[in-house]
Amino acid sequence: MNIVVCPLSRVIEMIEIHAPERIVSMINPGCNFPESGPAYAGRHLRLSFHDIGMAEDGLIEPSAGHVDELLAFLADWERTSGILIHCNGGVSRSTAVAFMAACLHNSSADEREIALALRRASPVARPNRALIRLADDAMGRSGRMNTAIADTAHGLPEITADENEPFELPAVY
């Protein structure tokens, strides 16, 4: 089982291909969530906030409440099959939550090892720093998640597309 990350435009396709155990949707306020159907009742978390790292007038930033909801939902993932995580572009919010999920379910793994696996799976991944910071605090990681993401960001290629390609991250380390 893996952590599947994709943009909003590819969610239905990824559900059909992977039949994930759970789905996490994080999209901008005002956007429509994808319809996952009755099979995902109680197994599809829908959160609405902007992809920003700090407060900006008129925008909803990621909050500790969002992270608490995410961590509770991710903790209930039994890992009998994969989990699908998406945001609008599959670049920032979803990659942050994929990293969070891998760290949460591999509590003794080195955060840097997981961050490197994320960078190998998707050089376009740019995890939302606010989500990483909040998750690091909530999970008691003493800054290790923040450091791992920051340290592995050096020398990444410039992003030239609005959306990331779907990718998979291992769930076990």
d(CA 53, CA 83): 25
Could you tell me the two tokens for 81? 């099959």
Q: How does residue 157 score in pLDDT terms, banded at 50, 70 and 90?
A: confident
Q: At what angle do helices 144-151 and 129-138 cross, to 10 degrees?
A: 150
**Residue 169 near residue 102, CB atoms below 8 Å:** yes
* pLDDT at residue 66, as a whole number: 98
Backbone conformation region of residue 142, classed left if phi is above 0, alpha if psi is from -120 to 50, else beta: left
Whole-prediction pTM: 0.96
Phi/psi at 29 (5° precision): -55, 140
* pLDDT at residue 162, as a whole number: 87
* pLDDT at residue 54, as a whole number: 82
* pLDDT at residue 1, as a whole number: 85
CA distances from 57 to 45, 50, 99, 155 (A): 26, 11, 28, 31
Total domains in the chain come to 1
Residue 172 CB partners (closer than 8 Å, separation 6+) = 105, 106
Q: What is the domain-level CATH number for residue 81?
A: 3.90.190.10
Residue 64 CB partners (closer than 8 Å, separation 6+) = 134, 137, 138
Domain ranges, residue 68: 2-157+164-170
Mean pLDDT (the chain) is 96
Q: What is the pLDDT of residues 64-76, one digit of tens each?
A: 999 999 999 999 9
Backbone conformation region of residue 140, classed left if phi is above 0, alpha if psi is from -120 to 50, else beta: left
d(CA 75, CA 11): 22
Q: How does residue 159 score in pLDDT terms, banded at 50, 70 and 90?
A: confident
